[in-house]
Amino acid sequence: MRLLPIVFLFSAEVALAQIQAPALPGAPAISSSDRIYTGDQTSNTITVIKPSTYEVLGTITLGEGRLSNLLNPQYIKSVDSHGLGFSRDGKYINSISVTTNTLTVIKTLDNSIVSQTYVDRAPHEGFFSADNRTVWVATRGTNYVDIVDGIAGGIIGRVLCAPGPSKVLFSPDGATAYVNHIRSATLDIIDVKAHKVVHQITGLGDIFSSDMMMNAQGTIIWAAHKLAGKTSILDLETRTVVTVLETGAETNHPNFAIVNDITYAWLTVASTNETKVYRQDSPSSIPVYITAVRSSGIEPHGLWPSPDNTRMYVVNEHSDTVDVIDTANYTIIHTMRVGQEGQALVYVAGAVPSGHNGTQNLGVQGLGHRVENRVFSIEGHGNASTLLTVRNVNGLEMIQFIGRKLNGNTTYLASASCYECNGAQIPLLEFKGVNPNPMGCTTAGQVLGFTKFFDVYDINSVTVRPLENKVDRKVD
Ligand SMILES: *[C@@H]1O[C@H](CO)[C@@H](O)[C@H](O)[C@H]1NC(C)=O
Ligand SMILES: *[C@@H]1O[C@H](CO)[C@@H](O)[C@H](O)[C@H]1NC(C)=O
Ligand SMILES: *[C@@H]1O[C@H](CO)[C@@H](O)[C@H](O)[C@H]1NC(C)=O
Ligand SMILES: *[C@@H]1O[C@H](CO)[C@@H](O)[C@H](O)[C@H]1NC(C)=O
Ligand SMILES: *[C@@H]1O[C@H](CO)[C@@H](O)[C@H](O)[C@H]1NC(C)=O
Ligand SMILES: *[C@@H]1O[C@H](CO)[C@@H](O)[C@H](O)[C@H]1NC(C)=O
User: DSSP assignment of 446-462, as one string?
Assistant: EEEEEE--TTTB-GGG-
**Residue of the CA atom closest to atom 6 of ligand 1:** 89
Same domain, 199 and 272: yes
CB 105 within 8 A of CB 151: yes
The answer for residues whose C-beta is within 8 angstroms of residue 128's C-beta and 6 or more apart is 85, 86, 87, 88, 92, 94, 134, 135, 150
Same domain, 315 and 415: no
Same domain, 329 and 375: no
pLDDT at 41 exceeding the cut of 50: yes
Same domain, 61 and 205: yes
Confidence of residue 1 (pLDDT cuts 50, 70, 90): very low
pLDDT in the model for residue 297: 97
Question: Which residue range is the domain that position 285 belongs to?
Answer: 12-348
Is residue 1 one of the residues assigned to a domain? Answer: no
Is residue 2 one of the residues assigned to a domain? Answer: no
Q: Report how far ligand 1's centroid is from the alpha carbon of 282 (Å).
A: 28
pLDDT in the model for residue 11: 45
As a whole number of angstroms, the distance between CA 219 and CA 239 comes to 9
DSSP string, 3-43: THHHHHHHHHHHHHH--SSS--TTPPPP-TT-EEEEEETTT
CATH number at residue 255: 2.130.10.10
What tens digit of pLDDT does each residue of 336-376 get?
Answer: 999 999 999 999 999 999 999 999 999 999 999 999 999 98
Same domain, 333 and 390: no
Cα distances from 127 to residues 196, 356, 360, 399, 437, in angstroms, run: 17, 25, 24, 32, 33
Atom of ligand 6 nearest to the CA of 436: 13
Same domain, 84 and 164: yes
Window from 196-210, 212-226, 399-413, 448-462 with minimum mean pLDDT: 399-413
Q: Report how far ligand 3's centroid is from the alpha carbon of 329 (Å).
A: 6
Centroid of chain to Cα 436: 24
Task: Return the closest-CA partner of residue 46 out of 91, 90, 94, 118.
Answer: 94
Task: Return the closest-CA partner of residue 463 out of 391, 396, 386, 392.
Answer: 386
Is 357 a pocket residue for ligand 6 (Cβ < 6 Å)? no
Q: What is the mean pLDDT of residues 248-261?
A: 97
The answer for residues whose C-beta is within 8 angstroms of residue 249's C-beta and 6 or more apart is 229, 269, 270, 271, 272, 404, 443
- Cβ-defined contacts of 194-203 (< 8 Å, 24+): 195/147, 195/157, 195/159, 196/159, 197/159, 197/160, 197/161, 199/239, 200/162, 201/234, 201/239, 201/240, 201/241, 202/241, 203/241
Domain end (from 348, 381, 407): 348
Q: Report how far ligand 1's centroid is from the alpha carbon of 89 (Å).
A: 6
Window from 360-364, 458-462, 470-474 with minimum mean pLDDT: 470-474
Cα distances from 79 to residues 24, 44, 100, 427, in angstroms, run: 36, 6, 6, 29
Is residue 393 one of the residues assigned to a domain? Answer: yes
**10 Å Cβ neighbour count for 249?**
17
Is residue 361 one of the residues assigned to a domain? Answer: no
Same domain, 191 and 294: yes
Same domain, 259 and 327: yes
Q: Report how far ligand 1's centroid is from the alpha carbon of 253 (Å).
A: 26
**Residue of the CA atom closest to atom 1 of ligand 4:** 357
Is 88 a pocket residue for ligand 1 (Cβ < 6 Å)? yes
Say which amino acid occupies 196: K
Same domain, 344 and 375: no
What tens digit of pLDDT does each residue of 119-147 get?
Answer: 999 999 999 999 999 999 999 999 999 99
Ligand nearest to the CA of 409: 6
For 227-267, where are the alpha helices, taking DSSP H only?
A: none
Ligand nearest to the CA of 309: 3
Same domain, 101 and 236: yes
Centroid of chain to Cα 304: 10
Is 383 a pocket residue for ligand 5 (Cβ < 6 Å)? yes
**Residue of the CA atom closest to atom 9 of ligand 1:** 131
CATH number at residue 448: 2.60.40
For Cα atoms 131, 132, 138, give the angle at the middle one, nearest 5 degrees: 90
Same domain, 342 and 421: no
pLDDT in the model for residue 70: 87
pLDDT at 74 exceeding the cut of 60: yes
DSSP 184: -
DSSP 65: P
Is residue 7 one of the residues assigned to a domain? Answer: no
Q: What is the mean pLDDT of residues 247-255?
A: 96
Task: Return the closest-CA partner of residue 41 out of 328, 361, 320.
Answer: 320
Is residue 91 one of the residues assigned to a domain? Answer: yes
Q: Report how far ligand 1's centroid is from the alpha carbon of 130 (Å).
A: 7
pLDDT in the model for residue 407: 87
Is 18 a pocket residue for ligand 1 (Cβ < 6 Å)? no
- Total of domains in the chain: 2
CB 168 within 8 A of CB 145: yes
Confidence of residue 469 (pLDDT cuts 50, 70, 90): low
Is residue 96 one of the residues assigned to a domain? Answer: yes
Comparison of pLDDT for 41 and 407, the residue scoring more: 41
Instruction: Out of 246, 271, 383, 437, give the residue to mutate to test ligand 5, the one with the largest number of ligand atoms within 8 Å of its CB.
Output: 383
What tens digit of pLDDT does each residue of 191-246 get?
Answer: 999 999 999 999 999 999 999 999 999 999 999 999 999 999 999 999 999 999 99
Phi, psi of 13 (to 5 degrees): -65, -45
Mean pLDDT over each residue of the chain, to the nearest integer: 93
Comparison of pLDDT for 68 and 99, the residue scoring more: 99
Same domain, 401 and 325: no
Q: Is 0.85 topped by the overall pTM?
A: yes
**10 Å Cβ neighbour count for 356?**
13
Is residue 206 one of the residues assigned to a domain? Answer: yes
As a whole number of angstroms, the distance between CA 198 and CA 17 comes to 25
Q: Report how far ligand 6's centroid is from the alpha carbon of 410 (Å).
A: 10
Task: Return the closest-CA partner of residue 304 out of 273, 283, 325, 331.
Answer: 325
Radius of gyration of the chain (CA): 22
Ligand nearest to the CA of 357: 4
CB 387 within 8 A of CB 373: yes
Cα distances from 81 to residues 93, 97, 98, 267, 448, in angstroms, run: 13, 5, 7, 22, 17
